[in-house]
Amino acid sequence: MSISTDILIIGAGPAGLCLASSLSETGLKIVVLERQSEAALADPAFDGREIALTHHSVQLMRQLGLWDRITPKEISALRDARVFNGTSLASLNIGHDSSKQNELGYLIANHLIRKAAYEQAKSAPAITIKAEVQVTNILHDSHGVQVSLNNGEIINTQLLIGADSRYSETRRAMGIAADMHDFGKTMMVCVMEHPVAHEHTAWEWFDYGQTLALLPMNGAQSSVVITLTPDEMDPLMKMAKDDFNREVTARFKHRLGPMNLVSTRHAYPLVTVYAKNLVSPRFALVGDAAVGMHPVTAHGFNFGLKGIDTLSTEIKNAVASAKDIASISLLRRYEQAHRRDTKPLFLATHAIAKLYASESAPAKFLRASAIKIGNRITPFKRAVAGFLADAPSKSISHSRIR
C-alpha cells in the first residue's frame, strides 16, 4: 500500500508533534510516525524529568494550543536560581527581578508536555499519527522522499522531518553525522519532599565528585537531579527507600532537612549531540535530533520549540507564496537561523560543564572565583537572568500564566 503526504515526521515526541501542530492549519497533509503504541502516546508514563520553560517558550506553547491543556496546579513558577560550588555556602544568585519578569520561567513535568502535545496533534484533522511502526528504508532525490515501513506501507512525501531523539536513526539513515559527546556520567532524576522551603528557587550545585540540581515544584516538593559515574549511580538506583532518603539528604548536606522520595527513580546517560548538518535535500532535523543540549542550562526543549517556530514560519511563508515547502534555500535559512540560536550556548555549556566537572586545583580556584566575581557584577547577573527568562517582546504576566 502506498500513500502520499506533504510532510512526514518521524518521531511523535514533543518536538515532532509540536511541529505538526504548528503546521496543522496550512492546508498541508501531515503524517507522524512513532514506534510506541497509541496508548503510550495518549498517556505517557512519568519519566522523572521536569522541563524548564522560558517566557518565549510559554508564548509558543500557547500559540500551539498546549498550554491550556495543562492545569495550573501542574505548572510551577521558577522565580530565582542559585549556583553553588563545592562545599561553600556562597552562591551565584540570579534573581527574577534582574530579568524584569515576575519569574525566570516555569517548570512542567515532561510527561505532561508529551500528553498535551499528543492531544493537540490528535485533535487536528490535517494530522495523521501512525503508531507502532518502524522505518525500514528511505529513498530520496530532488523531487521527493519515499519511506518504507515494517508493515509494508510506503509513504511518499515532499518533506521529511527527523524528530526521533538525540540518538536519531533517521539522521544516520540520511547520512548526516553528529558531534556527540559522552560525559561518562549518569543523571538520576526523582521527586522528593523536604521541610525546608525552596522558595521556588532552582539550585545548580557543582559539588566535588558529584553535581546536584534542585528544580522547585509546587508545595514542599522538588525535582532532584544527581549526576555521578555509572558505577556510583548503580547502588543509588537500587537502594532501599529509607536508605536512599538518608543518602540524598546527606548528599545535599542537610540543607533542605530530611528528604523523602515520593516518586520512582529514573536514570539517563549524560550525552550531548550537535548534528553537523541540520538539513539535506527535502529533509530537516528538529528537537534533540538536531541539537541535544547538556541539561545544565535547562534550554533543550526551549531550543527545540524555537527551531520549530523558525522552520514552521519558513514553511508557512512558502505555502502563502505557493512555493516549494522543501526547497533547499528554505531549509538552509532554517539551518542558519537555528545554528545562530543554539551554537553559542551549546559551546559555552560544554566549557562550563568541563570546568565544573574538573577536580583539579586550578579548576576549583576558577570555579570559586567565577561565583564570587559574578555575584558582584550586576550587569552580568542581569544579562544571565534575561537570557534564562528569554522573554518575548510582549511579556507574559504571571496572572495570564495562571
Q: Residue 293 has what pLDDT?
A: 87
Q: Residue 381 has what pLDDT?
A: 37
Give residue-wise pLDDT tens across range 47-104: 999 999 999 999 999 999 999 999 999 999 999 888 887 666 666 776 655 445 678 8
Q: Residue 177 has what pLDDT?
A: 98
Give residue-wise pLDDT tens across range 291-323: 998 776 556 899 999 999 999 999 999 999 999
Alpha-carbon distance of 303 to 190, in angstroms, equals 24
List of residues 6+ apart from 217 with CB closer than 8 A = 50, 76, 107, 191, 223
Tell me what the mean pLDDT of segment 251-280 comes to. 96
Given CA atoms 228, 15, 109, 58 in this order, what sign does their dihedral have? positive
Among 8-22, 56-70, 177-191, 288-302, the range scoring the smallest mean pLDDT is: 288-302
Give the residues across from 9 on adjacent strands: 32, 161
Residue with cell 543518602: 247
Using pLDDT thresholds of 50, 70 and 90, give the confidence band for residue 393.
very low
Among 32-41, 47-56, 154-163, 288-297, the range scoring the smallest mean pLDDT is: 288-297
Supply the pTM of this predicted model.
0.88
Other beta carbons less than 10 A from residue 346's beta carbon: 21
- Examine the pLDDT at 366 and tell me if it is beyond 60: no
Residue 260 or residue 402, greater confidence: 260
Query: Among the residues of 198-327, which ranges form H helices?
Result: 230-238, 241-251, 300-320
Other beta carbons less than 10 A from residue 70's beta carbon: 17
- Examine the pLDDT at 2 and tell me if it is beyond 50: yes
- Examine the pLDDT at 194 and tell me if it is beyond 70: yes
Q: Residue 346 has what pLDDT?
A: 82
Alpha-carbon distance of 273 to 382, in angstroms, equals 29
SS3 letters across 48-93: CCEEEECHHHHHHHHHHCCHHHCCHHHCEEECEEEEEECCCCCEEE
**Rounded to 5°, angle at Cα 363 from 349 and 49:** 35
CATH code that applies to domain 2-180+271-401 = 3.50.50.60
Q: Residue 10 has what pLDDT?
A: 98
Amino acid (1-letter code) at residue 356: Y
- Examine the pLDDT at 158 and tell me if it is beyond 80: yes
- Best-predicted range by mean pLDDT among 80-89, 183-192, 351-360? 183-192
Using pLDDT thresholds of 50, 70 and 90, give the confidence band for residue 340.
very high
Percentage, residues of the chain above pLDDT 90: 72
Q: Please, what is the average pLDDT of the chain?
A: 87
